[in-house]
């Protein structure tokens, strides 16, 4: 545990304290052991095992198809690669909506089988009873309001939330109710920046994590594939800042490998075993 002695373990209370002190919270997604370790050692606060794995790992057009079993497997891999960061598992579509009992059971799987330390549940005031019961069972919850991808068909596409008074009222009421239920943090996705700022200032203990919600949230989250350029061609939403362009680097490496194999250059003598 030499690594942990150098960096303090992030807990739910750490995030609550960051909110109180005005220290920004950093969040990225990860879906496997190796990338989780890289993010952890780089100093990320929270690793979210996002249901975005449905899109960026499994090639689906939305987050809806991914299952509990697949999400638990991703979470377990991420947990094994993480020492200091807080691991939050995204509860997939229909893993919590049918009933409170279903939500509690599936949330428990993420902790027991996946090694997660918290779960994320999409939905506003309508999910408060479910969220409250999950928390009562000892499972920390990160809420998620604004654009909730599991409800993408209801929204009719990725539309910015909070532009109309009815939407603003729903978002603000939901945020307060979810904090009252005990959520330690809350994703605000694709939301009018002023509304996000107002929600952030209204919450006392629940840290807001923005994605397309402006600079006034308590923290920010992005999908790791997106910041590395490993996303679908043409996917460049306004809020996305790309920090690397890995596809041409990967392509060049693969092309060189193919050339080396075909030319007989790989493997050479130094890369081959001999009994001499």
Q: Read off the pLDDT of residues 74-125 as tens digits, 9 standing for 90 and up.
A: 999 999 999 999 999 999 999 999 999 999 999 999 999 999 999 999 999 9
Considering Cα of 51, then 55, then 59, then 61, what sign does the dihedral take?
A: positive
Q: Length of the chain, please?
A: 276
Q: Which two tokens mark 171? A: 């978002």
More confident residue, 158 or 167: 167
Per-residue pLDDT at 1 exceeds 50: no
What residue ranges define each of the domains in the chain, with the CATH number in brackets?
2-245 (3.20.20.60)
3-7, 9-13, 80-84, 147-151, range with the lowest pLDDT? 3-7
Average pLDDT estimate for 195-223:
98
Taking each helix axis from N to C end, the angle separating 165-181 and 128-136, rounded to the nearest 10 degrees, works out to 20
pLDDT 10s digits, 51-65: 999 999 999 999 999
Average pLDDT estimate for 185-211:
97
Angstrom distance (rounded) from CA 95 to CA 57: 20
Mean pLDDT over the full length of the chain? 95
pLDDT tier for residue 155 given thresholds of 50, 70 and 90: low
Largest separation between any pair of C-alpha atoms in the chain: 79
Q: Per the confidence metrics, is the pTM higher than 0.85?
A: yes
pLDDT tier for residue 184 given thresholds of 50, 70 and 90: very high
Given this model, what pLDDT does residue 207 score? Answer: 98
43-57, 141-155, 171-185, 229-243, range with the lowest pLDDT? 141-155
Angstrom distance (rounded) from CA 167 to CA 188: 13
More confident residue, 1 or 116: 116
Residue among 239, 107, 113 at smallest CA distance from 183: 107
Looking from the CA of 243 toward its CB, the CA atoms found within 13 Å total 8
Catalytic residues: 189
Residues 6+ apart with CB under 8 A from 228: 242, 243, 244, 245, 246
Q: pLDDT above 90 covers what percent of the chain?
A: 88
Give the SS3 label for residue 244. coil
Residue listed under structure tokens 């079993």: 69
């Amino acid at each position: 545990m030499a690594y942990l002695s150098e960096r303090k373990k992030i807990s739910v209370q750490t995030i609550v304290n960051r909110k109180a002190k005005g220290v920004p919270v950093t969040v990225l997604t990860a879906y496997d052991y190796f990338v989780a370790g890289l993010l952890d050692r780089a100093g990320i606060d929270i690793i979210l095992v996002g249901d975005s794995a449905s899109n960026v790992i499994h090639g689906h057009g939305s987050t809806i198809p991914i299952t509990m079993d697949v999400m638990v497997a991703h979470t377990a891999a991420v947990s094994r690669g993480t020492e200091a960061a807080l691991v939050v598992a995204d509860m997939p579509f229909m893993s919590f909506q049918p009933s409170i009992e279903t939500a509690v059971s599936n949330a428990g799987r993420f902790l027991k089988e996946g090694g997660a330390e918290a779960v994320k549940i999409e939905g506003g005031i309508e999910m408060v009873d479910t969220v409250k019961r999950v928390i009562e069972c000892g499972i920390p919850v990160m809420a998620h309001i604004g654009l909730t991808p599991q409800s993408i068909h209801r929204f009719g596409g990725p539309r910015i939330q909070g532009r109309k008074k009815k939407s603003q009222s729903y978002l603000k009421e939901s945020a307060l109710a979810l904090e009252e239920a005990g959520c330690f943090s809350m994703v605000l996705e694709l939301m009018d920046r002023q509304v996000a700022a107002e929600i952030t200032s209204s919450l006392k203990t629940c840290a807001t994590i923005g994605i397309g919600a402006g600079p006034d949230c308590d923290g920010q989250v992005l999908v790791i594939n997106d910041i590395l350029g490993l996303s679908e061609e043409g996917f460049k939403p306004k809020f996305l800042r790309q920090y690397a362009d890995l596809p041409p680097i990967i392509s060049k490496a693969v092309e060189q490998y193919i050339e080396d194999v075909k030319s007989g250059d790989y493997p050479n003598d130094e890369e081959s075993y001999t009994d001499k």
